[in-house]
Amino acid sequence: MIQTESLSFSYNSNTVFSFPNIKNNVSEALLITGNSGKGKTTLLHLLGGLLRPKSGSISIQDTTISSLSEKELDHFRGKNIGLVLQQSHFVASLNVLENVVLASWLATGKKATDKAKSLLKQLDLENQMYKLPSNLSVGQQQRVSIARALINEPKLLLADEPTSSLDDENAFKVADLLAKLSKEYKASLIIVTHDQRLKNKFPNQLNLN
């Protein structure tokens, strides 16, 4: 479960965002929408601990991440937060399987190879796991990102515009996968997007205006 209170962020004195309070439970999905410039990605980066709030608090389960040190936050994020970002940031020289396994090793010091294979198979990527990410389609790369985000069984799954570059068929596949897997892994799912196609998929919505 994730909960925020009185959250705000400032890039400079001219750009200040104040966000509504959020409460999203285990296995629930929240769709955050809004026009460009309203702070959707900023909010997601705050929730993922990639940015520090100007004020307010962010709690995941019983941990207030906004009060953790940088080292504590890095450790907590690796074990408890799965990120599906707009840019996948794969290690270009590693194949698909190695990229997913790397996420487990960085977080735990152990290589969860069998688990990575199982996840990739579940995401219909069994025949792609020994290819380089650059040789995959955009839709396949997005599914690899989901596998990497889930490898450590996070309590919170965050997705930033996960469908914006996909055609209708793949967009709905990715949306369904995120919803299904968040329930299966008992993760709180938050998606930020301007993709209107997702509005009918996720009834629990927050619009930033």
* CATH code of the domain containing 186: 3.40.50.300
Written as one letter, the residue type at 36 is: S
CA distances to 11, 88, 134 from 91, rounded to whole Å, are: 29, 9, 10
Q: What is the pLDDT of residue 186?
A: 92
Task: Tell me the pairing of strands 81-84 and 156-160.
Answer: parallel
Query: How many domains is the chain partitioned into structurally?
Result: 1
Over the chain (209 residues), the average pLDDT of each successive run of 10 is 95 88 94 90 94 94 91 92 89 96 92 95 94 93 92 94 88 90 93 91 92
Handedness of CA 105, 108, 110, 111 (dihedral sign): negative
- The domain in which residue 53 lies consists of 2-207
Instruction: Give which of 41, 132, 153, 56 is closest to 90, Cα–Cα.
Output: 132
Q: What is the pLDDT of residue 165?
A: 84
Give kind and range of the element (H or E) at residue 64: strand 63-64
Q: What is the pLDDT of residue 164?
A: 85
Task: Tell me the pairing of strands 156-160 and 188-192.
Answer: parallel
Bridge partners of 58? Answer: 4
127 backbone dihedrals φ, ψ, rounded to 5°: -90, 0
